[in-house]
């Protein structure tokens, strides 16, 4: 039996030209990541140090949580803090002390920087070190930036995980680093996944003969994985460049693979992880084949609806290139333009190779120019941020909010049809409105 997926393809976009734009952008900030991270890490708390705007953003993005004990909040910087009239460090200490007294369940506290805290140069790393010392060993305090200055919304997760990496325990030692690198490797999956997806992947790796796969971030701080030269990691999300760099600095090695979106991507991703840990590729192919075939059957009705539709991606989530690969290859969509905020060539190499040759790629944004290209092309479906979706709908375009793709479980075989449905639904809605 041949390997599950031909990862090396003759054509593709590995060396394709990329239109780079640096103009006005329409994206959410990294605070948005708190919405899915606080659900994942169940004994962590995210304290945004920001303004009322920041508080409003995460409250509205998270929906109303009036009846729950939330795991995020905002310490609001008021005019006195912003004018330098109050000692913001002292106030922060008081807020953290009150919070930890009231919430003994918190084991890990993130101080999350924002545009206002960065503008007044509030040193949150100093605060985190001081508060960590004060509240050790019960609570560890870390900091990262969720500021919207020159970032996009999925970078919040990257910054959060990169801040956690230096605190991870040391992987099993060996007599020499060369021995350690060659000793039995351990597989780590990197990127926040919905619990249901994590459980599916865990079972699938177990079926492939790998029962000890670890996930980062874990659900509880007690399960933080050890890192070292034996660690081999698969990225579950394409926006984790800083986290990957931090893991590599600890001796871990990245496993190149497409991302687990759709039947093809999930098969290639699982297969790459298993092969890196010494599982025979033919054996993996035999185990994976029925999962892949089931996902392909579930995708068939979506392909009937989506085949030949023209799609335009504005840069927003950094998921655009893996999504475009899935939509083009498994559902027959035509890619008008695939925009992404950042193009990490190494992490996306296999994705680019699988894209149809000649795909128009763009990196960064000059929103007015891109809107002009979109209007001229008249695509059937536009994937974009919330700020662009309503005006484009008003102009008669059919849109899909890219943020929904991050909030919804979309990874793996069992979610492939749900992922496709996220693209069929707006087209069906438009058809109903036109009828």
Per CB under 6 A, residues contacting ligand SF4 are 29, 31, 50-51, 53-54, 57, 114-115, 146-148
Least Å distance between CB 53 and ligand SF4?
Answer: 5
> If phi over 0 gives left and psi between -120 and 50 gives alpha, with beta otherwise, what is residue 215?
beta
Angle in degrees, 0-180, between the axes of helices 320-331 and 281-306, rounded to the nearest 10? 80
How far apart CA 271 and CA 153 sit, in angstroms, is: 30
User: Is the N-terminal amide bond of 194 cis, ω within 30° of 0?
Assistant: no
Task: Tell me which H or E stretch contains 363.
Answer: strand 361-365
Least Å distance between CB 391 and ligand SF4?
Answer: 20
Query: Which of 246, 264, 244 minimizes the C-alpha distance to 256?
Result: 244
Q: Are 399 and 389 in contact (CB under 8 A)?
A: yes
- Chain centroid offset of residue 204 CA: 21
Residue 401 CB coordination number (10 Å): 18
Position closest to ligand SF4 via CB = 148
For ligand SF4, which is the closer residue by CB, 146 or 185?
A: 146
Least Å distance between CB 77 and ligand SF4?
Answer: 10
For ligand SF4, which is the closer residue by CB, 147 or 399?
A: 147
For ligand SF4, which is the closer residue by CB, 50 or 379?
A: 50
Least Å distance between CB 159 and ligand SF4?
Answer: 12
Least Å distance between CB 128 and ligand SF4?
Answer: 18
Least Å distance between CB 29 and ligand SF4?
Answer: 3
Torsion of CA 58, 61, 63, 68, to 10 degrees: -40
For ligand SF4, which is the closer residue by CB, 38 or 214?
A: 38
Least Å distance between CB 58 and ligand SF4?
Answer: 8
Residue 76 CB coordination number (10 Å): 16
Query: Which of 29, 54, 34 minimizes the C-alpha distance to 46?
Result: 34
For ligand SF4, which is the closer residue by CB, 44 or 54?
A: 54
Least Å distance between CB 401 and ligand SF4?
Answer: 18
**Residue linked to tokens 């874990």:** 218
Strand ranges of the sheet holding 231-235, from the earlier edge strand across to the other edge: 214-216, 186-190, 231-235, 253-254
Q: How many residues does the chain have?
A: 435
For ligand SF4, which is the closer residue by CB, 55 or 235?
A: 55
For ligand SF4, which is the closer residue by CB, 14 or 53?
A: 53
Least Å distance between CB 151 and ligand SF4?
Answer: 9
- Chain centroid offset of residue 206 CA: 24
For ligand SF4, which is the closer residue by CB, 53 or 89?
A: 53
Rounded to whole angstroms, what are the CA distances from 324 to 17, 157, 327, 413, 423?
A: 17, 22, 5, 17, 11
For ligand SF4, which is the closer residue by CB, 111 or 352?
A: 111
């Amino acid at each position: 039996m041949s390997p599950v997926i031909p990862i090396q393809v003759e054509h593709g976009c590995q060396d394709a030209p990329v239109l780079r734009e640096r103009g006005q952008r329409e994206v959410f900030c990294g605070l948005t990541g708190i919405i899915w991270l606080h659900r994942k890490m169940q004994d962590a708390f995210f304290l945004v140090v920001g303004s009322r705007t920041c508080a409003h953003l995460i409250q509205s993005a998270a929906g109303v949580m009036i009846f729950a004990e939330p795991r995020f909040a905002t310490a609001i910087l008021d005019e006195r803090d912003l004018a330098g009239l109050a000692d913001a460090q002292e106030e922060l200490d008081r807020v953290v002390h009150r919070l930890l007294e009231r919430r003994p369940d918190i084991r890990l506290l993130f101080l999350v920087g924002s545009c206002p805290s960065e503008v007044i140069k509030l040193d949150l790393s100093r605060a985190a070190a001081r508060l960590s010392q004060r509240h050790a060993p019960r609570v560890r305090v870390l900091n990262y930036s969720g500021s919207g200055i020159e970032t996009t919304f999925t970078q919040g997760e990257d910054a959060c995980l990169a801040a956690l990496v230096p605190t991870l325990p040391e992987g099993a030692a060996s007599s020499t680093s060369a021995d350690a690198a060659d000793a039995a490797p351990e597989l780590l999956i990197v990127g926040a996944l919905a619990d249901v997806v994590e459980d599916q992947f865990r079972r699938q790796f177990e079926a492939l003969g790998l029962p000890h796969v670890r996930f980062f971030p874990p659900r509880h701080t007690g399960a933080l994985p050890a890192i070292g030269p034996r660690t081999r990691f698969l990225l579950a999300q394409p926006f984790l460049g800083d986290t990957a760099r931090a893991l590599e600095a600890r001796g871990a090695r990245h496993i190149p693979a497409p991302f687990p979106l759709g039947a093809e991507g999930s098969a290639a991703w699982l297969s790459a992880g298993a092969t890196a840990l010494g599982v025979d590729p033919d054996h993996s192919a035999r185990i994976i084949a029925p999962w892949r075939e089931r996902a392909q059957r579930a995708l068939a009705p979506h392909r009937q609806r989506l085949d030949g539709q023209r799609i335009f991606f504005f840069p927003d989530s950094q998921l655009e290139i893996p999504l475009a690969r899935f939509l083009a290859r498994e559902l027959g969509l035509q890619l008008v333009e695939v925009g992404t905020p950042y193009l990490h060539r190494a992490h996306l190499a296999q994705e680019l190779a699988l894209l149809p040759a000649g795909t128009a790629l763009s990196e960064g944004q000059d929103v007015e120019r891109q809107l002009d290209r979109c209007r001229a092309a008249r695509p059937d479906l536009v994937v974009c941020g919330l700020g662009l979706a309503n005006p484009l709908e008003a102009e008669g375009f059919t849109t899909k909010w890219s943020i929904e793709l991050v909030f919804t479980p979309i990874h793996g075989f069992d979610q492939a049809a749900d992922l496709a449905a996220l693209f069929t639904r707006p087209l069906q809605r438009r058809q109903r409105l036109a009828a």
